[in-house]
């Protein structure tokens, strides 16, 4: 599949910028759709649906080419602009929408078609339409874990959040071997902590433990997934010891969190697939170790970072390192 063209259009405005690690809170992460399941060839409607899917793929391929060309034109000072390109995209997708609508009208009980049409609508940010298709698919095939996951993604985005928890849990119950479902639930629990506290009837530390446990379960199923390992390690940025603890106990709790974060990033480093990923992990390790007052090790991590994409964040962390080490040395 090509890039998610509409998301690129709506959220990025066609601007291509390199991602650098944040300096403050943990990032907002996106949940993932369920892995695609091939349609069984014995389905008598498979060939007919395949034509619709090929029409969809062809449109996305063409739109992907338009976006890439527009990026090149803009880099050269030209381009047709977002509004014109969006209109062109939506016009190109009209026959695809019509093909899905016609197929579902003729075959209203065909679950794979409703799943595919829901995904098409979801890519267009038409969440109400996507929800309608997927809820109907769920009614027709309640044992399909992927449908529960996709609906949970929608509820996690637009609410109600407790329904997202419920639907992810059902997806896991139906297919406990799929890492994506654990990862999505971990992300949603982490991001919506107050809702999770109410849903699971527990305090915030227990919510963090639940989220981290779900990440670890996902990682046990997909031990070589760098993005998953990075999401897990990122979580530690958002976890702080309770303010109710006395200063000594709180410092000990923070030291334990630092150790866990370092171990998580070292795990990600071991499965990084290229130099950009590896240097990004070194950036994170430097940041955590600065906060842990392990200044010599932090400096060593920063020394390994040479890719220009990290120049600004490396400069910022180096300044923080020098400042915090000077503060620390002055108190000794």
pLDDT at residue number 222: 97
pLDDT at residue number 28: 43
Residues 15 and 23: their CA atoms lie apart, in Å, by 22
* 116 and 158 together in one domain: no
Residues 309 and 279: their CA atoms lie apart, in Å, by 10
* 231 and 214 together in one domain: no
Residues 103 and 101: their CA atoms lie apart, in Å, by 6
Q: How many domains, the chain?
A: 3
Nearest to 177 by CA among 223, 222, 115: 222
Burial class (CB in 10 A: 0-12, 13-18, 19+), 288: buried
* 72 and 95 together in one domain: yes
Residue 63 lies in a domain: yes
Among 222, 247, 267, the domain boundary falls at: 222
- The mean pLDDT of 24-38, rounded to a whole number, is 51
User: For the chain, what is the HEC assignment?
Assistant: CCCCHHHHHHHHCCCCCCCCCCCCCCCCCCCCCCCCCCCCCCCCCHHHHHHHHHHHHHHHHHHHHHHHHHHHHHHCCCCCCHHHHHHHHHHHHHHHHHHHHHHHHHCCCCHHHHHHHHHHHHHCCCHHHHHHHHHHHHHHCCCCHHHHHHHHHHHHHHCCHHHHHHHHHHHHHHCCCCHHHHHHHHHHHHHCHHHHHHHHCCCHHHHHHHHHHHHHHHHHHCCCCHHHHHHHHHHHHHCCCCCCCCHHHHHHHHHHHHHHHHHHHHHHHHCCCCHHHHHHHHHHHHHHHHHCCCHHHHHHHHHCCCCHHHHHHHHHHHHHHHHHHHHHHHCC
Is the pLDDT assigned to residue 141 strictly greater than 90?
yes
Token pair for 119: 């995904």
* 164 and 194 together in one domain: yes
Lowest mean pLDDT among 53-57, 66-70, 73-77, 105-109: 73-77
* 243 and 317 together in one domain: yes
Is the pLDDT assigned to residue 16 strictly greater than 50?
no
- The mean pLDDT of 273-283, rounded to a whole number, is 96
* 189 and 244 together in one domain: no
Per-residue pLDDT band at 10 (split at 50, 70, 90) = very low
* 214 and 231 together in one domain: no
Token pair for 171: 């997806």
Nearest to 116 by CA among 170, 32, 56, 176: 56
Is the pLDDT assigned to residue 18 strictly greater than 60?
no
- Domain with 296, as residue range(s), is 224-332
Residues 10 and 261: their CA atoms lie apart, in Å, by 34
* 247 and 213 together in one domain: no
* 1 and 105 together in one domain: yes
* 3 and 97 together in one domain: yes
Average pLDDT, the chain: 88
Peptide bond into 180 cis (omega under 30): no
Residue 97 lies in a domain: yes
Residues 159 and 192: their CA atoms lie apart, in Å, by 11
Is the pLDDT assigned to residue 286 strictly greater than 80?
yes
Residue 31 lies in a domain: no
Residue 53 lies in a domain: yes
* 254 and 209 together in one domain: no
Whether 328 and 297 have beta carbons less than 8 Å apart is answered as no
> Quick one: how far is CA 104 from the chain centroid?
30
Residue 126 lies in a domain: no
Residue-wise pLDDT tens digits, 218-230: 999 999 999 999 9
- pTM here is 0.82
Q: How many percent of the chain have pLDDT more than 90?
A: 73
Is the pLDDT assigned to residue 146 strictly greater than 50?
yes
Among 222, 255, 270, the domain boundary falls at: 222
Q: What is the largest CA-CA distance in the chain?
A: 78
Is the pLDDT assigned to residue 265 strictly greater than 90?
yes
Residues 262 and 279: their CA atoms lie apart, in Å, by 15
Per-residue pLDDT band at 166 (split at 50, 70, 90) = very high
CATH number at residue 210: 1.25.40.10
| End-to-end CA, the chain | 58
Residue 55 lies in a domain: yes
- The mean pLDDT of 284-299, rounded to a whole number, is 96
Residue 32 lies in a domain: no
Residue-wise pLDDT tens digits, 190-245: 999 999 999 999 999 999 999 999 999 999 999 999 999 999 999 999 999 988 88
Among 87, 121, 155, the domain boundary falls at: 121
pLDDT at residue number 22: 39
* 242 and 315 together in one domain: yes
Q: How far is CA 257 from CA 24, 232, 233, 276, in A?
A: 16, 13, 11, 26
Per-residue pLDDT band at 78 (split at 50, 70, 90) = confident
CATH number at residue 290: 1.25.40
Residue 33 lies in a domain: no
Handedness of CA 237, 239, 244, 248 (dihedral sign): negative
């Amino acid at each position: 599949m090509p890039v998610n063209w509409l998301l690129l259009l709506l959220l990025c405005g066609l601007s291509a910028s390199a991602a650098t690690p944040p300096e403050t809170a943990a990032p907002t992460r996106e949940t993932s759709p369920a892995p695609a399941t091939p349609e069984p060839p014995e389905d008598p409607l498979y060939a007919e649906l395949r034509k619709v899917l090929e029409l969809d793929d062809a449109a996305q391929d063409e739109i992907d080419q338009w976006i890439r060309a527009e990026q090149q034109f803009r880099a050269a000072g030209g381009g047709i602009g977002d509004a014109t390109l969006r209109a062109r995209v939506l016009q190109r997708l009209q026959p695809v929408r019509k093909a899905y609508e016609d197929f579902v009208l003729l075959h209203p009980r065909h679950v794979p078609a409703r799943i595919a049409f829901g995904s098409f609508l979801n890519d267009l940010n038409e969440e109400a339409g996507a929800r309608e298709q997927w809820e109907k698919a769920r009614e027709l095939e309640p044992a399909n874990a992927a449908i529960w996951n996709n609906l949970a993604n929608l509820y996690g985005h637009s609410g109600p959040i407790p329904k997202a928890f419920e639907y992810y849990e059902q997806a896991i119950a139906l297919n406990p071997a799929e890492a994506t479902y654990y990862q999505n639930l971990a992300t949603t629990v982490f991001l919506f902590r107050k809702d999770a506290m109410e849903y699971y009837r527990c305090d915030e530390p227990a919510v963090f433990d639940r989220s981290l446990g779900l990440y670890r379960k996902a990682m046990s199923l997909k031990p070589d997934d760098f993005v998953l390992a990075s999401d897990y390690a990122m979580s530690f940025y958002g976890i702080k010891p309770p303010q109710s603890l006395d200063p000594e106990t709180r410092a000990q709790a923070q030291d334990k969190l630092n150790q866990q974060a370092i171990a998580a990033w070292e795990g990600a480093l071991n499965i990084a697939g290229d130099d950009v990923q590896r240097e990004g992990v070194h950036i994170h390790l430097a940041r955590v170790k600065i906060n842990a007052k392990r200044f010599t090790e932090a400096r060593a991590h920063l020394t390994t970072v040479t890719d220009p994409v990290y120049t600004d964040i490396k400069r910022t962390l180096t300044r923080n390192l020098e400042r915090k080490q000077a503060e620390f040395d002055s108190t000794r």
